[in-house]
Structure 1
Amino acid sequence: MGRTALFAQFSAHPWKLPQDLVLHELRGFKTSTSLDPALNALIHGPRQEGAPAGSLKGKVVIGWGRKDKVTVPSEAARATELFPDATLHWFENCGHFPHWDQPTEAARLILDSTG
C-alpha cells in the first residue's frame, strides 16, 4: 500500500514494483551529479543556444508514458517543439518511469535508438 501511495505519480502500477528496485533507484537520485544538468537540458532543449533544427549530432528519441502524472502527456507537444529532430515514442499503460512499467519495451527502444 505504501508504494502505491508514494509512487503513483511515477508508475502506472506501483504496487507491482519490487521494493529493492525502488530503493536502489531513489538512492541513486540522491547521489547523482548529472541529474540537475540533465533536467536543465530537458527543460530548455538543445535550441537554447540557437541551434537550428537538424543540427544535433546523433539520434534523439523521447519516450513518454501515456499515464505519466509528472510530465503529463499533453506536454509532449512542447517537448517536440524543444527537440524538433526527435522522434516521440509512446509507452502504453506507463507512468513517468518506463523502465519501471515497461522494462522490456524501454530496453528495446534504447537499444534500437543507439545501435
Structure 2
Amino acid sequence: MAFRICEDVGTTPRRKMTPRRALKLWEMHKGICVLCHQPIDGAREDWFVEHIQALENGGSDEDESGNLGPAHLWHKAAKDAQDHSLAARSKRQKQRHIGIKQRKGPPMVGSKDSPWKRRMDGTLVRRSK
C-alpha cells in the first residue's frame, strides 16, 4: 500500500463495536476481507472489523461510509504499523507547515539557542541578552 498524505490529522470518535454491528458489516461485505479481497471462513479463521482508512488519519466510523469491513486477523499488525506511521508523518508535516519547531533535547552549547557563547579561543562565556 502506498502512503497517502492526510489532511485531517485529528482523530474521529470511535463507536462501540457490538456483535450486531459486526454481523451487519460482515453481511454488507459478504465475508470478503477488505484488505486482501479473499473470502474469510468465519468458522475457521480469526477476523476483526477494520477501518480501511484509520480514524487517526481522518477515516469515518460510520457503517455506511464503506470505510469499515471484515479483515483477516493476520493483516492487523502490518496495517496498524502503516496507519500509525502515516499518522505520525502527517502530524509532523502539519506541524512543520504551520511553523511548530520540535527541539530534540537541550540546545547545543555554543549554538544560537544556548545561553552560552563559545569564543574563538574555545572558552565559554554567558551570552548577554
Point out which structure has higher relative CO (alpha carbons under 8 A, 6+ apart): 1
| Shared fold per TM-score greater than 0.5 | no
TM-score (norm 1): 0.23
Larger radius of gyration: 2
TM-score (norm 2): 0.22
The structure with more helix, counted as a fraction of residues:
1
